[in-house]
Amino acid sequence: MAQATGTALVYDEQMSRYKLLWLDPACELEVPERLTVSYEALVQNGLSGRCVSVPVREATDAEILLAHSEEYLEAVKKTPYMSLEDLMTFTQQYGDVYFHPNIYHCAKLAIGAALQLVDNVMTGSVRNGLALVRPPGHHSQHSAANGFCVFNNVAIAAQYAKKYHGVKKVLIVDWDVHHGQGVQYCFEDDPSVLYFSWHRYEHQNFWPNLKESDHDSVGKGKGAGFNVNVPWNQVGMENSDYLAVFFHVLLPVAYEFGPDLVLVCAGFDSAIGDPEGHMCATPDIFAHLTHLLMNLAGGKLCAVLEGGYNLSSLAQSVCQTVLTLLGDPAPRPTELHGPCESALESIHCVRSSHKQYWSCLKHAADMLSYEPSTKHRKVMEGALISQNQDEQGQKTEEGSTTELVFPELLQRVAPAVRTALVLPDAVECTDGCAHFSAKKAPDPLALNRLSMNGKESGDEASLTALANLIPVIEKMEKNEIQNCLALVPDVSTAAATVVQQANTSLTKRVLVVWVGEGPLPTQMMGDEKTLLVHLGSKEQEDLNSKYYVPISLKKGCRDTAGLLQALLGVLLPLGFQFNPSLVLLVRTPGGNVATAVWQQLTCLLQGLAQGRTLVLMQEKETSSISATASCLLGNPAPSLGPLGAPMPDNVEALERLGHRLQAHWKLLQTTAAASRRSAPCGYTPSSRMKPPSV
Ligand code: X5A
Ligand code: ZN
């Protein structure tokens, strides 16, 4: 089947036509405007126009019964005919939810929206998409409404995908700030659905206050290991904390699982300013969370709205998610100072709880010198943003008004040219790329620049190839070209030239990812503007430098699971924290990396540097052009399928490397150590409210 393209947006204004009809402080946040404001923001930013608009439909009884009991369905069916008093009484048997004469209709549309999205993604009429729905779903259970949820939209969507589309394995990522206990209950003993959730927990002091939301609820029977809970035991979690959980928990497990479909319980109450979550992650983090999931399951990703109660934060987060689904480059992540102590404790605990189920975690925490406990500990009272102010900056009890200032939606301008190819003349260009011949007479200015850099020697062909690279890099810097694949006679020289050229500007930082052996240009080692990560098979000399990271894997790049572990657990954390303005991906001849893994690498690295990736390969490697160009053009990497166990030697080497580097690169940390940090997750509201610098 041809590569699916396009992003579906499933929305119907009808789902805003129900609301709370009585006083209930627990439910007053769940307002119709959540939906209309999210959709309006997509319209205003020109995003709805770029999506494929897919109509909603009502779910059938049979579909509702995929996750609910007949008795419950029959009871909900009566609600449209109930008096206000009867509705209130009916509502009272459930926790933190309300009914309305029109909610049953909307709840059927919400499921139908999720199913329409699954249909469109599974048949390949779109690549991915978002369903904007009300009511949300992830708290609702077999025979119970709960937490604003009537039917479990995503749980039903997962069952539906299995039943009607022959999907074997579904990954559900629940990034809502609440625990989707309804989803957990639905799939607890089912190994075909991997459920991941992070959630505000505070040692069971936060709603829904369940023991089974903790990290040690791993699933039951055959489903043991397929339920992954990351409890947040403090509020104020930041971008670093979220990314650390993705790098060290979710992504390794998800890649090992190898899903055929990814469903996202896309709640945005986990973003800054939310009155429920009290977290500090910024809306642009959802660009990255989305991007990091887009190369699983061959890109088949369906996001379904759950929570999100600060209207401006919600709208921005929705836009960031959709921009990424559409393929626009993610903004550079801001100020990643590494996970806080409390997050590290949670990460450590969940990795320990799951080490017996997942090869990628087998050696987790082996190097730990002490056992932190997250249980039975007094709740740390962090600074709460919204203790005496609500999210709209209204008057507080003290009578003072605090304005919560939101940065404008980060502008994400995609360059006019996505992918430039610099190829030898005989080589044919890939569709959709702009071709820059490597043979054409080079720009004299560029030649001049090269000779100033001492490159006047060398044969004419390689000089020409190099000179043709320079205008491309300049165009990348000017945001006219997003990324580039260049085939050059000698990757070493070309790489050195690019680094030199890129470093001429003070603000430029280059992440060099060197795949395979071959002479490393010595001038790019050990400087804070160039981070060099070397993925190779030969035992490499560790210079004990922060900026030269040799990752030597036995069997080289043929240990797919080991390589993925290096990519997810070392390279990406390093890259995100280094925050380059350019990624230079170099493949030396005979690097011997499997195409599918190479594609994952190429795709995932595009989350950095606003997608400014320059790939250098040796002239003769023409067979890899189309696979590489496809990734640079924004197509998802093909699924690797379930991964086996990485070679033990490689796991151990990666653990050792992580431990050596984590004093400096804090995103590599996977475990708490009281001695390492003084203030656990300390923050002041003001420092968290600064707009991210662009
Ligand atoms: C979908 C969702 C939250 C319910 C909170 C009740 N529900 N206190 O975010
Ligand atoms: Zn929520």
**What is the DSSP secondary-structure string of 263-318?**
EEEE--TTBTT-TTT---B-TTHHHHHHHHHTTSGGG-EEEEE----SHHHHHHHH
The number of the ligand nearest the C-alpha atom of 30 reads: 1
Q: What is the pLDDT of residue 677?
A: 39
**What distance, in Å, lies between the first and last C-alpha atoms of the chain?**
39
Q: What is the pLDDT of residue 323?
A: 98
For residue 399, pLDDT over 70 is answered with no
Report the half-sphere exposure of 136 (CA within 13 A, side-chain side): 33
The number of the ligand nearest the C-alpha atom of 199 reads: 2
* 551, β-bridge pairs: 535
Q: What is the mean pLDDT of residues 345-349?
A: 97
CA atoms of 407 and 690, how far apart (whole Å): 8
Q: What is the DSSP string of 305-365?
A: E----SHHHHHHHHHHHHHHHTTPPPPPP-------HHHHHHHHHHHHHHTTT-GGGTTTT
Q: Where are the alpha helices (DSSP H) in 78-152?
A: 84-92, 103-122
CA 312, 313, 316, 317 dihedral sign is negative
E strands, 389-497, in order: 417-423, 434-437, 481-488
As residues whose CB is below 5 A from the ion ligand 2, the structure lists 176, 178, 267, 269, 307
Report the chain's C-alpha Rg in angstroms.
25
Confidence of residue 41 (pLDDT cuts 50, 70, 90): very high
For residue 684, pLDDT over 70 is answered with no
Phi and psi at residue 195, to the nearest 5°: -105, 125
CA atoms of 577 and 338, how far apart (whole Å): 8
Q: What is the mean pLDDT of residues 568-584?
A: 97
For residue 436, CA distances in Å to 166, 424, 469, 479 come to 44, 9, 9, 17
Q: Is the CB of 94 under 6 A from ligand 1?
A: no
For the CA of 177, the closest atom of ligand 1 is 9
Tokens of 560: 């797919």
For residue 485, pLDDT over 50 is answered with yes
Q: What is the mean pLDDT of residues 249-268?
A: 98
Percent of the chain with pLDDT over 70: 85
CA atoms of 349 and 66, how far apart (whole Å): 33
Q: Is the CB of 26 under 6 A from ligand 1?
A: yes
Distance from chain centroid for Cα 419:
23
For the CA of 207, the closest atom of ligand 1 is 8
Confidence of residue 153 (pLDDT cuts 50, 70, 90): very high
489 preceded by a cis bond (ω within 30 of 0): no
CA atoms of 505 and 487, how far apart (whole Å): 25
Nearest 5°: the CA angle 601, 612, 428 is 75
Q: Is the CB of 308 under 6 A from ligand 1?
A: no
Q: Which of 399, 388, 584, 356 is nearest to 486 (CA)?
A: 584
Cα(317) to ligand 2 centroid in Å equals 14
Percent of the chain with pLDDT over 90: 70
32 preceded by a cis bond (ω within 30 of 0): no
Distance from chain centroid for Cα 660:
26
Question: Which position has the token pair 């009808």?
Answer: 14
Q: What is the pLDDT of residue 651?
A: 87
Q: Is the CB of 176 under 6 A from ligand 1?
A: yes
To the nearest whole number, what is the mean pLDDT of the chain?
88
Confidence of residue 440 (pLDDT cuts 50, 70, 90): low
Confidence of residue 369 (pLDDT cuts 50, 70, 90): very low
Cα(231) to ligand 2 centroid in Å equals 14
Confidence of residue 593 (pLDDT cuts 50, 70, 90): confident
Q: Which of 501, 472, 474 is nearest to 487 (CA)?
A: 472
Q: Is the CB of 178 under 6 A from ligand 1?
A: yes
Single-letter amino acid, residue 143? S
| Closest protein CA for atom 7 of ligand 1 | 147
Probe ligand 1: pick from 15, 97, 98, 148, max atoms within 8 Å of CB?
A: 148
CA atoms of 202 and 380, how far apart (whole Å): 8
Residue range 642-678, pLDDT digits in tens: 999 998 889 888 988 998 999 999 999 999 874 343 3
Residue 139 catalytic?
yes
Question: Which position has the token pair 């986990």?
Answer: 270
Out of 3.40.800.20, 3.40.720.10, 3.40.190.10, 2.40.10.340, which CATH number does the structure's domain 7-403 have?
A: 3.40.800.20
For residue 474, CA distances in Å to 467, 504, 580, 632, 633 come to 12, 11, 16, 18, 19
| Closest protein CA for atom 9 of ligand 1 | 307
For residue 559, pLDDT over 80 is answered with yes
Q: Is the CB of 259 under 6 A from ligand 1?
A: no
The region of weakest confidence among 164-168, 192-196, 513-517 is: 513-517
Residue range 60-111, pLDDT digits in tens: 999 999 999 999 999 999 999 999 999 999 999 999 999 999 999 999 999 9
Cα(383) to ligand 1 centroid in Å equals 22
Cα(605) to ligand 1 centroid in Å equals 34
Residue 448 or 616, more confident: 616
* 8 A C-beta contact, residue 123 and residue 300: no
Kindly state the DSSP code that residue 418 receives in the 8-state scheme.
Answer: E
Q: What is the pLDDT of residue 455?
A: 52
Q: What is the pLDDT of residue 643?
A: 94
Residue 51 or 497, more confident: 51
For the CA of 146, the closest atom of ligand 1 is 4
Q: What is the mean pLDDT of residues 506-528?
A: 81
CA atoms of 219 and 212, how far apart (whole Å): 10
Report the half-sphere exposure of 92 (CA within 13 A, side-chain side): 8
* 481, β-bridge pairs: 417
* 8 A C-beta contact, residue 290 and residue 266: no
Cα(26) to ligand 2 centroid in Å equals 12
CA atoms of 75 and 93, how far apart (whole Å): 12
Probe ligand 1: pick from 15, 35, 139, max atoms within 8 Å of CB?
A: 139
For the CA of 307, the closest atom of ligand 1 is 9
CA atoms of 106 and 17, how far apart (whole Å): 8
* 8 A C-beta contact, residue 575 and residue 336: no
Q: Where are the alpha helices (DSSP H) in 479-582?
A: 491-502, 560-566, 572-578
Q: What is the mean pLDDT of residues 353-370?
A: 79
For residue 29, pLDDT over 90 is answered with yes
* H or E element, residue 131: strand 128-131
CA atoms of 34 and 43, how far apart (whole Å): 15
* 8 A C-beta contact, residue 391 and residue 380: no
Confidence of residue 1 (pLDDT cuts 50, 70, 90): low
Catalytic residue among 139, 178, 278, 288: 139
Tokens of 210: 């369940």
For the CA of 136, the closest atom of ligand 1 is 1
For residue 596, pLDDT over 60 is answered with yes
Confidence of residue 385 (pLDDT cuts 50, 70, 90): very low
| Closest protein CA for atom 4 of ligand 1 | 147
Q: What is the mean pLDDT of residues 389-407?
A: 40
Please state the pTM of the whole predicted model: 0.91
| Closest protein CA for atom 6 of ligand 1 | 147
Cα(173) to ligand 2 centroid in Å equals 13
CA atoms of 168 and 443, how far apart (whole Å): 54
Cα(307) to ligand 1 centroid in Å equals 6
CA atoms of 586 and 18, how far apart (whole Å): 55
Cα(309) to ligand 2 centroid in Å equals 8
Single-letter amino acid, residue 482? Q
For residue 378, pLDDT over 80 is answered with no
- Its CATH architecture, for the domain 417-635, is 3-Layer(aba) Sandwich (3.40)
The number of the ligand nearest the C-alpha atom of 270 reads: 2
Q: What is the pLDDT of residue 196?
A: 99
* 8 A C-beta contact, residue 419 and residue 483: yes
Residues 6+ apart with CB under 8 A from 434: 417, 419, 420, 421, 481
Report the half-sphere exposure of 579 (CA within 13 A, side-chain side): 14
Q: Is the CB of 139 under 6 A from ligand 1?
A: yes
The region of weakest confidence among 66-75, 310-319, 366-375, 449-458 is: 366-375
Residue range 616-640, pLDDT digits in tens: 999 988 899 999 999 999 999 999 9
CA atoms of 357 and 200, how far apart (whole Å): 24
Nearest 5°: the CA angle 272, 276, 282 is 10
The number of the ligand nearest the C-alpha atom of 135 reads: 1
Confidence of residue 683 (pLDDT cuts 50, 70, 90): very low
For residue 405, pLDDT over 90 is answered with no
Q: Do domains 7-403 and 417-635 have the same CATH topology?
A: yes
Domain locations along the chain:
7-403, 417-635
For the CA of 137, the closest atom of ligand 1 is 1
Question: Which position has the token pair 């086996």?
Answer: 644
Q: Is the CB of 306 under 6 A from ligand 1?
A: yes
Cα(505) to ligand 1 centroid in Å equals 48
The number of the ligand nearest the C-alpha atom of 154 reads: 1
Residues in the chain: 694
Tokens of 475: 């165009």
The region of weakest confidence among 52-66, 135-149, 505-519 is: 505-519
Q: What is the mean pLDDT of residues 359-373?
A: 64
Collapsing DSSP states into helix, strand and coil, what is residue 653?
Answer: helix
Q: What is the pLDDT of residue 429?
A: 73
The region of weakest confidence among 67-81, 452-466, 529-543 is: 452-466
Kindly state the DSSP code that residue 567 receives in the 8-state scheme.
Answer: I
Q: Is the CB of 148 under 6 A from ligand 1?
A: yes
For residue 469, pLDDT over 90 is answered with no
CA atoms of 215 and 212, how far apart (whole Å): 8
CA atoms of 393 and 160, how far apart (whole Å): 42
Residue 457 or 146, more confident: 146
Q: Which of 34, 26, 29 is nearest to 91 (CA)?
A: 26
